[in-house]
Chains A and B, each alone.
Chain A
Amino acid sequence: MQAKTEPALRLATSDRSAREERARPRLTDDHVERNPGTALDLDIVRALRVNRSAVERRAATIPTRRTVKKEWQAAWLLRAITLIDLTTLAGDDTPGNVRRLCAKAAHPLRQDLVDALGVADLRLTTGAVCVYHSLVATAVEALRGTGIPVAAVSTGFPAGLSPLEERVREIRASVAAGAQEIDIVITRGHVLTGNWQALYDEVRMFREACGDAHMKAILATGELATLGNVARASMVAMMAGADFIKTSTGKEGINATLPFSLVMVRMIREYHEATGYAVGYKPAGGIRSAKNALEYLYLMKDELGNRWLKPDLFRFGASALLTDIERQLEHFVTGRYSAAHRHPMV
Chain B
Amino acid sequence: MTSVREIFDTMEYGPAPEGDAAARDWLALHGARFGHFIAGGWTKPAGLFDVSNPATGARIAQVSQGSKKDVDAAVRAARKALPAWEALGGHGRARYLYALARTVQRNSRLLAVLESMDNGKSIRETRDIDVPLVARHFYHHAGWAQLLDSEFAGYHAAGVVGQIIPWNFPLLMFAWKVAPALAAGCTIVIKPAEFTPLTALLFAELADAAGLPPGVLNVVTGDGDTGAAIVAHDGIDKIAFTGSTEVGRIIRKATAGSGKKLSLELGGKSPFIVFEDADLDSVVEGVVDAIWFNQGQVCCAGSRLLVQEGVSERLIAKLRARMETLRLGSPLDKAVDMGAIVAPVQLERIRSLVAAGTAEGAEMWQPSWACPQDGCFYPPTLFTNVQPSSTIAQVEIFGPVLVAMTFRTPSEAVALANNTPYGLAASVWSESINLALDIAPKIKAGVVWINSTNLFDAAAGFGGYRESGFGREGGREGMWEYLSPDRAVPARENGRAARAAAKTARGAQARAVRRAAELDDPDRGAPLVDRTPKLFIGGKQVRPDSGYSIRIAGADGRVLGEVGEGNRKDLRNAVEAAHAASGSWSKATGHNRAQILYYIAENLAARADELGRRISALTGGDGAAEVEASVRRLFTYGAWADKYDGQVHQVPLRGVALAMNEPLGVIGIACPDEHPLLGLVSLVAPAICVGNTVVAIPSERAPLAATDFYQVLETSDVPAGVINIVTGAKDTLAKTLAEHDDVDAMWYFGSRDGVKAVELASAGNMKRTWCELAPRTWIDSREGEGRPFLREATQVKNIWIPYGE
Contacts and interface: CB of A to CB of B under 8 A. Distances in A.
B279 A51 contact: yes
A6 B451 CA distance: 26
Interface stretch (A33-41, A54-62, A175-183, A195-203): A54-62
Nearest to A48: B279
Given A71-B4, A72-B7, A72-B13, A65 B317 contact: no
Contact of B124 (A53, A64, A117): A64
A335 interface: no
A302 B320 CA distance: 13
Chain A contact residues (Cβ within 8 angstroms of B): what range? 35 or more
B431 A49 contact: yes
Contacts of B335: 65-68
A227 B805 CA distance: 7
Contacts of B277: 49
B325 interface: yes
Interface stretch (B97-105, B281-289, B516-524, B718-726): B281-289
Nearest to A66: B335
B285 A58 contact: yes
A50 interface: yes
A2 B655 CA distance: 35
Contacts of A8: 314, 317
Interface string B787-805: 0000000000000001111
Given A1-B321, A58-B282, A71 B1 contact: yes
A308 to B, nearest CB: 10
A301 interface: yes
Contact of A5 (B3, B11, B15, B317): B317
A50 B5 contact: no
Contacts of A228: 805
Contacts of A64: 124, 128
A71 B128 contact: no
B415 interface: no
Given A5-B317, A67-B335, A54 B15 contact: no
B281 A3 contact: no
B765 interface: no
Interface in A206-254: 226-228
Interface string B291-332: 000000000000000000000011011101100110000000
B31 interface: no
Q: Is the interface of A mostly helix, strand, loop or mixed?
A: helix
A324 B282 CA distance: 33
Contacts of B15: 69
Given A53-B803, A57-B285, A70 B321 contact: no
Interface string A101-143: 0000000000000000111011000000000000000000000
A228 B325 CA distance: 25
Contacts of A75: 4-8, 11
A181 to B, nearest CB: 23
A184 interface: no
A193 B316 CA distance: 34
A22 interface: no
A3, A49, A58, A302 — most chain B CB neighbours (10 Å): A49
A78 B16 contact: no
B2 interface: yes
A65 B292 CA distance: 13
A5 B313 contact: yes
Interface string B663-678: 0000000000000000
A119 B6 CA distance: 9
B334 A67 contact: yes
Contact of A76 (B7, B320, B653, B802): B7
Contacts of A26: none
A79 interface: yes
Contact of B279 (A2, A50, A76): A50
A4 B320 CA distance: 9
B654 interface: yes
Contacts of A227: 805
Contact of A119 (B8, B124, B281, B653): B8
Interface in B123-153: 124, 128
Contacts of A69: 14-16
A100 interface: no
B278 interface: yes
A5 B804 CA distance: 33
A10 interface: no
Contacts of A79: 8, 11
A266 interface: yes
Interface in B418-436: 431
Given A4-B317, A51-B431, A78-B4, A226 B805 contact: yes
Contacts of A5: 313-314, 316-317
A65 B14 contact: no
A118 B3 CA distance: 8
Given A117-B4, A119-B5, A1 B286 contact: no
B4 A309 contact: no
A51 B282 contact: yes
A3 B318 contact: yes
A51 B280 CA distance: 9
A331 to B, nearest CB: 14
Contacts of A68: 13-14, 16, 335
A261 to B, nearest CB: 13
Nearest to B280: A49
Interface string B228-258: 0000000000000000000000000000000
A306 interface: yes
B337 interface: yes
Given A50-B279, A119-B4, A67 B431 contact: no
A74 interface: yes
Given A5-B317, A49-B277, A228-B805, A54 B8 contact: no
B727 interface: no
A52 interface: yes
B124, B281, B653, B805 — most chain A CB neighbours (10 Å): B281
B13 A54 contact: no
B752 to A, nearest CB: 51
A87 B14 CA distance: 31
Contacts of A6: 313
B452 interface: yes
Nearest to B336: A65
Contact of B281 (A2, A78, A226, A266): A266
B431 A71 contact: no
Interface string A306-332: 100100000000000000000000000
Nearest to B286: A54
B282 A54 contact: yes
A66 B282 contact: no
Nearest to B451: A51
A69, A72, A117, A121 — most chain B CB neighbours (10 Å): A72
A49 B325 contact: no
Contacts of A4: 317, 320
Contacts of A61: 128
A72 B278 contact: no
Given A75-B4, A79-B8, A309-B11, A65 B124 contact: yes
B760 to A, nearest CB: 44
24 contacts: A3-B317, A5-B313, A5-B317, A6-B313, A49-B278, A51-B278, A51-B279, A53-B452, A53-B655, A53-B804, A54-B452, A54-B802, A55-B279, A65-B124, A66-B13, A69-B15, A69-B16, A72-B2, A72-B14, A74-B7, A76-B11, A117-B4, A119-B4, A309-B11
4 A-B pairs with least C-beta separation: A72-B14, A75-B7, A54-B282, A53-B802
Given A3-B320, A51-B282, A55-B282, 17 more contacts: A3-B318, A4-B320, A49-B279, A50-B279, A53-B803, A54-B279, A54-B285, A57-B289, A61-B128, A68-B16, A72-B12, A74-B7, A75-B4, A75-B6, A75-B8, A228-B805, A266-B281
Interface of B: 1-8, 11-16, 124, 128, 277-283, 285-286, 289, 313-314, 316-318, 320-321, 324-325, 334-335, 337, 431, 451-452, 653-655, 802-805
